[in-house]
A = this chain, B = another copy of it.
Amino acid sequence: MITDGPCKQSAEKVHAIIDAAQKRFGRFGLEKTSMREIAHDLSMSKGSLYYYFPDKEHLYRTVVEKEQCLFLQMIREKVRSIDDPRDLLKEYARSRLYYFKTLLNLGQLRMEAFRGIRSFMEDIWLKFKEKEKEVLLEIFQGGLDRGVFHNIEADRTAELFLDMLRGLRESVFSKKDLLYIDEKEYDNLLEKTNAFIDIFISGICKD
């Protein structure tokens, strides 16, 4: 049992900061949120907040990492609980889109600001992408092993599937300068994603 020592208190503080930051980011975006406001929400001094996080960008990065972790945890649970690989792919595509919206609206970044933090965020994005691919590989391999999918190579198909989903998501931005997605755009994307997934699944399944 963990005692109520300074370590636990510190971890609790960090969790509280992450939660408060996530709420602010989710509502106003990274750019329009200040460390002062987050500290204020926690009835904490700005100095104390800076003790835990050197700047807003590190705090944002931690929030993103937490969201990535939650998404992967959730999707791995689905892989265990959903039996049919077709349903799993559908679930994956929809959950991934929902996660995209959450994460995007956490930043609400202008393209310029996005480019500014890109190199700072790149390693966690790459790590996430690799883990995504692992999960998809498992789904495609499972479908092949059970004879539901056919004529594909699991590894390449996982990559292709990721590319296709990302391509669809990014189609929203061709005319936008703000990385934000509203409900109407989300519904539109969801409809396209569903249409894609139906054709894709039909294309790799035996009837």
Residue from A166, A198, A203, A207 having most chain B Cβ neighbours under 10 A: A203
Number of interface residues, chain A, beta carbon within 8 A: 24
Question: Is the CB of A70 closer than 8 A to any CB of chain B?
Answer: no
Query: Judging by beta carbons under 8 Å apart, are B192 and A160 in contact?
Result: yes
Question: Is the CB of A81 closer than 8 A to any CB of chain B?
Answer: no
Residue from A168, A171, A199, A204 having most chain B Cβ neighbours under 10 A: A199
A159 to B196, alpha carbons, bound, how many Å?
A: 11
Question: Is the CB of A31 closer than 8 A to any CB of chain B?
Answer: no
A154 to B204, alpha carbons, bound, how many Å?
A: 21
> Given the interface contacts A164-B168, A170-B167, A171-B166, does A157 sit within 8 Å of B195 by beta carbon?
yes
Shortest C-beta distance, A108 to chain B (Å), equals: 19
Tell me which residues across on chain B come within 8 A of A199, comparing CB atoms.
152, 157, 160, 199-200, 203-204
Question: Is the CB of A135 closer than 8 A to any CB of chain B?
Answer: no
Shortest C-beta distance, A24 to chain B (Å), equals: 28
- Encode A162-198 as 1/0 by CB contact (under 8 A) with B: 0110111011000000000000000000001001101
Shortest C-beta distance, A48 to chain B (Å), equals: 38
* Chain B residue, CB-CB nearest to A174: B166
A40 to B146, alpha carbons, bound, how many Å?
A: 66
Query: Judging by beta carbons under 8 Å apart, are A204 and B207 in contact?
Result: no
* Chain B residue, CB-CB nearest to A177: B115
> Given the interface contacts A170-B170, A200-B203, A202-B203, does A195 sit within 8 Å of B164 by beta carbon?
no
Question: Is the CB of A201 closer than 8 A to any CB of chain B?
Answer: yes
Question: Is the CB of A156 closer than 8 A to any CB of chain B?
Answer: yes
Lowest 8 CB-CB distances: which A-B pairs, in order?
A: A167-B167, A203-B203, A199-B203, A202-B203, A163-B171, A160-B195, A164-B164, A167-B168
What are 18 contact pairs spanning A and B, CB under 8 A? A151-B202, A152-B199, A156-B195, A160-B196, A163-B192, A164-B164, A164-B167, A164-B196, A166-B167, A167-B171, A199-B199, A199-B200, A199-B203, A200-B200, A200-B203, A202-B202, A202-B204, A207-B207
